[in-house]
Structure 1
Amino acid sequence: MKAWVYGEYGSVDVLKFQSNVSVPHVNEDQVLVKVVAAALNPVDFKRRQGKFSATDSTLPTVPGYDVAGVVVKVGSKVKDFKVGDEVYGDINEKALEGPKQFGSLAEYTAVEEKLLAPKPQNLDFAEAASLPLAIETAYEGLEKTGFSPGKSILVLNGSGGVGSLVIQLAKQVFGASRVAATSSTRNLELLKSLGADLAIDYTKENFEDLPEKFDVVYDAIGQCEKAVKAIKEGGIVVALTGAVTPPGFRFVVTSDGAVLRKLNPYLESGKVKPILDPKGPFTFPQLVEAFSYIETNRAIGKVVIHPIP
């Protein structure tokens, strides 16, 4: 099969396009997915840079966590999916501990049934591929804070892949009383369109100096030290990256198809929408360009690779 592969850790230059990679073996609890679209996440480039080398799978690696595609083969113990089903998911149950050697940036990927869900019927493959890791991170992070109806939240980097979904889930699924979010000037209107009651321009205001404080700060950018200054007494900060300052805590997602199934009705009703960066989707041959772009940290929503190949 055709796939992108790297045999050493490093910059985008280590990524090589190959057309003779073996199709991955399918275990009894797995399905083989013909990949139609995949998305990039910060974990993809941090992994490629060798930041998780101690717990990584062996090299060479086909990168990619997020997938949307069609089931072409099922293992003997698979119950919920059959050949021809359209599915989506994050193929790595643990983001950093032993992720798959053969990821989603290839024609085919093998993935455990429990990590997948039926693709929402109203979304195309590119939209579906943009969601799994980010929406699971958004949902599970909110759950870990004990977020519940009537609480207020501040989302740092509200225009990013995770942040754009935290805003929507906090409002539509968890019943937030008030949602604030930060972005640069150009993305303030996007924040409001996603449901933010207060859009904060971080180029002009320091969120930690505002008089208003919040029950939860969802830190998707790595500013925990400032974030803890923006919470109410008894409040909490969930941090995805960077150093952690108490009462903040580090959160790393565990992939679970059940979360996607739970959220499918919100996606199919249009209450929660995928946000794709307007520069994309990038084609399969443009993968290096797509990685270079996501590594600028300027992407809006998600960077998607489609079609594959």
Structure 2
Amino acid sequence: MENVPCTMKAWIYGQHGKPEDVLKLKSDVVVPELKEDQVLVKVMASGLNPVDNKRMIGIFVHAECPFPTVPGYDVAGVVVKVGSQVKNLKVGDEVYGNIHEKALDHPKQYGTLAEYTAVEERLLAPKPKNLSFAEAASLPVAIGTAYEGLQRCEFTAGQSILVLGGAGGVGSMVIQLAKHVFGASRVVATASTGKLELLRNLGADLAVDYTKENFEDLPEKFDVVYDCVGEGYY
């Protein structure tokens, strides 16, 4: 078992505001204590998502956790300590996941932009051996968002889909899920000129350059349009 220190380095903010104004790197943040159903993860990589910025600037102030706050949802790392009720994970396991079970309903005070983070066992999965820690940490929020959107619109095999913003985190996951998991009959996606080949490699049947074409002028119709570019909040 790793000798876990009492304090750690972490990015932290104590008030709402622009990240460049309120986010600070501290070296004396207390390592979070474990609950019985949690494991302590030594963070090898963590991901940043739009929700982190929105929380920081105060958009979701009505449902926020207390200050000071360590941002971060996505994590990939190594289990260094386990709670008394943990059944399936052990010290030394490489894991990844989204540590917030409810993204905006009083999320955790201590996120993943730290050397250590405490996570419920049920929110973690074994890190695939063919993924690096950085690759694994880039997945949870993006793929969860993509999958939930497809579920909510009741997307099924044989349907067609247009993905706006297909080269982004969520969009790239939507393309792959729609094509390779849900069984889409046709996937069309938009991106800028330099990212069209990426869309094709992900599984898009047609890649549309939004800098040269208007997707609204496409001659075909789609069962679902998945908009990853809209400016509305969650």
1:176-255 correspondence to structure 2 within 5 Å = 176-222=184-230, 242=232
Q: Deviation at 1:175?
A: 0.8
Q: Percent identity?
A: 72
Deviation at 1:59, TM superposition (A): 1.3
* Matched residue, 2:106: 98
- Amino acid across the alignment from 2:12: V
Q: Match of 2:11, as an amino acid?
A: W
Q: Which residue of structure 2 lines up, in the alignment, with residue 293 of structure 1? A: none
Q: How many residues align?
A: 226
The alignment status of 1:163 with 2:171, answered yes or no, reads: yes
CA–CA distance in 1 between the matches of 2:127 and 2:152?
Answer: 26
Specify which of 7, 11, 17 is matched with residue 4 of structure 1: 11
Counterpart amino acid of residue 168 in structure 2: G
Query: Is residue 122 from structure 1 mapped to residue 112 from structure 2 by the alignment?
Result: no
Displacement over 2 Å in runs of 4+: none
Q: Which is bigger in relative contact order (C-alpha 8 A, separation at least 6)?
A: 1
Q: CA RMSD in A?
A: 1.2
**TM score, norm. by length of structure 2:** 0.93
CA distance in 1, matches of 2:19, 2:101: 25
Deviation at 1:11, TM superposition (A): 1.2
Report the residue type matching 1:57 in the other structure: C
> Structure 2: which 5+ runs fail to align?
1-7
Whether 1:19 aligns to 2:41 is no
Give me the whole-angstrom Cα distance separating, in 2, the residues matched to 1:175 and 1:21: 47
Unaligned ranges ≥5, structure 1: 223-240, 244-251, 253-309
Paired letter, 2:10 = A
Q: Normalization by structure 1: what TM-score?
A: 0.71
Q: Alpha-carbon deviation of 1:12?
A: 2.1
Deviation of the 1:188 alpha carbon: 1.2
User: Which structure would you say has the larger Rg?
Assistant: 2
* Residue-by-residue CA offset, 1:101-141 (whole Å, 9 max, x unaligned): 10000000001111110101111101100101111111122
Query: How many Å separate the matches in 2 of 1:74 and 1:121?
Result: 22
